[in-house]
Structure 1
């Protein structure tokens, strides 16, 4: 057993037996999420293009507060009922989703163990292991956060594994990421401007990346807000297709503001470089999640390369994007969106027009929900002439979801 695994097991035992003094507090947590997802024509790279499943995720845990310390433990299970194609039912795993000790003092926090790490917007840092979907997003990390008059600092030392050795019940030996990973992430923010650096090493296939990031998240006059990021990435390694070293680039820029006091609009664009003569394909360090689309994360699987599943792999993709949101009353918010997806390499072919329509709502007593419909009208990039499985007919993604939290 590796030392890192032993440390995390000891952390779990510490959480389980930690005494809570009379002056302390134990706070229970539990939530349930039920969603049905219908994918029509999305799995174009398989003989059966359609999927229909119901996903049920349950989480239970607690936080124990004692002095300046907080102990956190959370267990998670998510199982799927496949309606199409028909599959035998499986309760799936119960995993150790969070197990951490945190020390807090005068604007400083130190967190050790299995924990969620989310940077604002999630452009580069959110998802610790993209291959198991939205079941969990944890990192195994030591994290330091400090906030003061001169700004805020966020530093994390991360060690994630391709396979989880701490499954509690019914280990499926499921790959969580493409490789074992080790790295660090540092972010400094002051006055709505941030600078960040992320170093990441992936083992088997071997790849080292150093990502430098500068961005803005600032309120402007008249209720407008400007957000943007620019990321420059150096890569070195052997991914079997493109060995050696090189540079990659990614960015986003959006302006958000009110429209006639009846809705809010957000307009802008995003860009992730692809493999070409001058640039390499950008590898978002820990930003592989449905930031831009729920439908298209599955379409990208058709672009997988040896040893690497491209689910939510935002690379060689760019788009202008417009979204509108409006409060509809009674806790309901509606949203419309459109993105014209492009592939920068080899020659800026159209991936297609992606449209989105959805609504979120609150029912009270801890119950929330949402509805979502996405539609992709594929472009010439998907015509089958780029060495990829063809996608020539309109694809749809539909979801309803209900969540309850204690």
Structure 2
């Protein structure tokens, strides 16, 4: 063990716990609001890359994330807020001898993942504005949730300006959002301990116009949106990206992507609910014309019993790139590169795209949710996965595909989520993937993901 890194990890945890004690006593003091949490995770992953012969395919590590936040309200309209975050990791697998670039003890950066000023009801109007580093989730987060996919759920922030206009008489809300996202943590507000880490592969700017209506159809949320995203490459030596203590290669995007979409979330009857979202994309990506389509939907039946049992069926379609066309048809998840339905697949997507970059997909899912205990919810799902096309992001990745099949495999997932008290929560998650004939012969070994988490909140 590297003693200096161990001391730094211990110091980070100690500082978080010390701050948490102060916060607990002051969190309701006047116009100030304070809070803190400490997230502890143990993760086991087998066969990253679906190759059992790989010396670096198995991962075992711990994650320690501490956050401290506060806000100050001036009157009823003005508010400023900040959240300070630190996360360290310790890796048991892969062995350092098999991956010399791995930092066994990774101390990570200390940075603000929220730093905002905001105003409500400006000039007596239903207009509010929020400026600065902030979390933004639109709809179910299908296309807009994750601004920092390379740090693995440590943060999800956007550097953005958001204006919201609420038309309460019409049950409608309009959002206009401008995003200016740096590829790394090198610009203000920089990491306080000087660590420079990659947060995504390219510099990104964008504009989102998002409308939500709750009055046109009873029991139904209707959303419509337009998204523009400009990608400017962030070149690094051999395309290496540095985050989480394990450098890896991942190429930048360039170009301009436009997307138009619709979303509906409806309570059809006391038992039945339907959610559906679709989007069409066009523009240019990496010097090719883009034309892509995506759909994501869920039908849910609620038994309305004492255990709150629900069953659901999902279908998701993300177009793949036709290898016989000069244009690009691969659906771009935009700011949706996060584990929406699988933690394990986040680690397998780089075989053909990038971390968390789901595309070229047909997914059928059936699942069950039940409140098995007053404190605990159980979620069980089965996913059947196909590819839309025999294609990858780069020519070098084609060796990972068989070329004669489109079945990605069977994926089984289970979550046990518990809220023990106001201050303590946690979960267990397990996933198992049985790869299909879409992958090359040496990429068809079964893979699993297991994670245990405890969160302490003040």
Q: Same fold (TM over 0.5)?
A: yes
| CA distance in structure 2 between the partners assigned to 1:38 and 1:383 by the alignment | 24
Asked if the contact 2:222/2:265 (under 8 Å) is kept, the reply is yes
Distance 1:177 1:368 in 2: 30
Q: Summarize deviations over 1:331-383 as a string: whole Å, max 9, x none.
A: 11111001101100038711000001111011114110100000000000112
Residue 255 of structure 1: how far off its partner (Å):
0.8
User: Which residue is equivalent to 1:80?
Assistant: 89
Is 2:343 the partner of 1:301? Answer: no
Is residue 2:160 matched to residue 1:154? no
SS in 1 for 2:337: coil
Q: Higher mean Cα deviation, 79-88 or 175-184?
A: 79-88
Cα deviation digits, residues 267-288 of structure 1 (max 9, x gap): 1201111111466111111111
Alpha-carbon distance between aligned partners in 2 of 1:244 and 1:121, rounded to the nearest angstrom: 29
**How far apart, in 1, do the equivalents of 2:60 and 2:376 lie?**
26
Q: How does 1:163-174 map to 2 (within 5 A)?
A: 163-164=184-185, 165=187, 166-174=189-197
Q: Which residue of 1 aligns with 2:439?
A: 382
Q: Displacement of 1:260 after TM fit?
A: 7.7
In angstroms, what is the RMSD of aligned CA positions? 1.8
Gaps of 5+ in 2: 1-28, 96-102, 215-220, 234-252, 391-403
Alignment match, 1:186: 209
Q: What does 1:108-123 correspond to in 2, within 5 Å?
A: 108-123=127-142
Choose from 69, 73, 96 the match for 1:65.
Answer: 73
1:342 touches 1:348 (CA, 8 Å); kept in 2?
no
Match of 1:351 in 2: 408
Cα shift at 1:44: 3.6
For residues 119 and 341 of structure 2, the distance between their equivalents in structure 1, rounded to whole angstroms, comes to 35
Q: Does 1:327 align with 2:376?
A: no
Counterparts of 1:142 and 1:260 in 2: how far apart (Å)?
41
Note the C-alpha offset of 1:189. 1.2
Q: State the match for 2:337 in structure 1.
A: 288
Q: How many pairs align? A: 370
CA contact (8 A) 1:24 1:66 kept: no
> What runs of 5+ residues in structure 1 fail to find an aligned partner?
1-22, 305-309, 385-389
TM-score by length of 1: 0.87
Higher strand share: 1
Out of 222, 228, 234, the residue aligned to residue 199 of structure 1 is 228
Aligned to 1:94: 110
Distance (whole Å) between structure 2 residues aligned to residue 171 and residue 235 of structure 1: 37
Q: 2:443 aligns with which of 382, 391, 395?
A: 391
TM-superposition CA deviations, 1:196-243 (whole Å, max 9, x none):
010000012421100000110111112321100110000314x2xxx3
In structure 2, C-alpha distance between the alignment counterparts of 1:48 and 1:200, rounded to whole Å: 35
- Matching residue of 1:211: 259
What whole-Å deviation, never above 9, does each CA across 1:98-132 have from its counterpart, x for those lacking one?
A: 10001112643210000000112101110012111
| Cα shift readout 1:32-86 (whole Å, capped 9, x = no counterpart) | 1011110011244754210000011100120111111110011111111112124
Q: Kindly indicate whether the alpha-carbon contact (under 8 Å) linking 1:274 and 1:345 is maintained by their aligned counterparts in 2.
A: yes
